[in-house]
Chain A
Amino acid sequence: MALVELRFPPDAGHVRTARLVASAVARRCGFDVEQVDEVRLAVGEACARAVRRSDDCHVTTAVVLRIDDEPPGLRVDVVDDSAAGPREEPLVLALLKGLADVVELLPGPAGPDGHVRLVWFGDNRPHVVG
């Protein structure tokens, strides 16, 4: 089990950094090319969302990306410090639910929905939409 953590300023230019870290960890824990692409895209979406939410509330606190590769899969947590309320984000949620096996919106440190949890089981089982 290994936990990789990245903290980055809520700046759109760093979302790519987060994607690179996530895809490297996914590759390291044995995910195939298609699954690595899913992780890259979903983590990018979750981090871009955190940056937008931070912008909305003029928050400059770092966004935290945590990736835990404890078998049998990968658990990703993206946490922002924004107090932004719920917003319309149908494309983002559709993508997250279409890409990860489990998607949860949890309360963040500063407000509702500030924490996205994504889980991949890494065994090609059918996706659970939730």
Chain B
Amino acid sequence: MELSVRSRQEGSRTVINVTGEIDVYTAPNLRERLNELVASGHYDLVVDMAGVDFLDSTGLGVLVGGLKRARSHDGTLRLVCDQEKILKVFRITGLTKVFPIHATLADALAAPAGGTS
């Protein structure tokens, strides 16, 4: 399955809809998109992973990179995910403590803006 990455604006938030498999082969596409968004002044990012079937450590690295870039502009990167198999990847690597993770897009959009989780 290919990776699809689409972004749209929701008020001050930029929602990045990711579907498919984020792995060593496809993660560079996501990295490029996140870098472009931050470079063009989008610092309050919500990555919606509801349609993600698979996530590996390369994908985790890309998300951590996006979070660091957003934070360097006082923004943040929130994740939307409620799939146990994907959440497990964050839990095993201790990254549940690093990312604000929300079960629904509505919850992520309702969270306060900026770098607080």
**Chains A and B are bound partners:** yes
Which residues does A use to contact B, with CB under 8 Å? 12-13, 15-16, 19, 34, 37, 40-41, 44-45, 48, 51-52, 91-92, 94-95, 98-99
B25 touches A95 (CB 8 A): no
Report if B93 contacts A (CB, 8 A).
Answer: yes
Interface of A is mostly: helix
In the complex, which of the residues A16, A34, A37, A48 contacts B58, with contact meaning CB atoms closer than 8 Å? Answer: A48
**How many interface residues does B have (CB within 8 Å)?**
15
In the complex, which of the residues A37, A48, A99 contacts B23, with contact meaning CB atoms closer than 8 Å? Answer: A48
Which residues does B use to contact A, with CB under 8 Å? 21, 23-25, 54, 56-58, 60-61, 85, 89, 92-94
In the complex, which of the residues A12, A19, A41, A91 contacts B61, with contact meaning CB atoms closer than 8 Å? Answer: A91
18 more A-B residue pairs beyond the given contacts A40-B54, A45-B56, with a C-beta to C-beta distance below 8 A: A12-B23, A15-B24, A19-B54, A34-B85, A37-B85, A41-B54, A41-B89, A44-B24, A44-B56, A45-B57, A48-B24, A48-B57, A51-B24, A52-B24, A91-B60, A91-B61, A92-B57, A94-B92
Measured in the bound complex, the distance between the Cα atoms of B3 and A12 in whole Å is 14
B92 touches A98 (CB 8 A): yes
Q: Which residue of A lies closest to B58 (CB)?
A: A48
Q: Which residue of B lies closest to A40 (CB)?
A: B54
Q: A52 — which chain B residues lie within 8 A by C-beta? A: 24
Chain B nearest Cβ from A65, distance in angstroms: 15
Q: Name, among B21, B23, B54, the residue most crowded by chain A CB atoms within 10 Å (CB to CB).
A: B23
Q: A12 — which chain B residues lie within 8 A by C-beta? A: 23-25
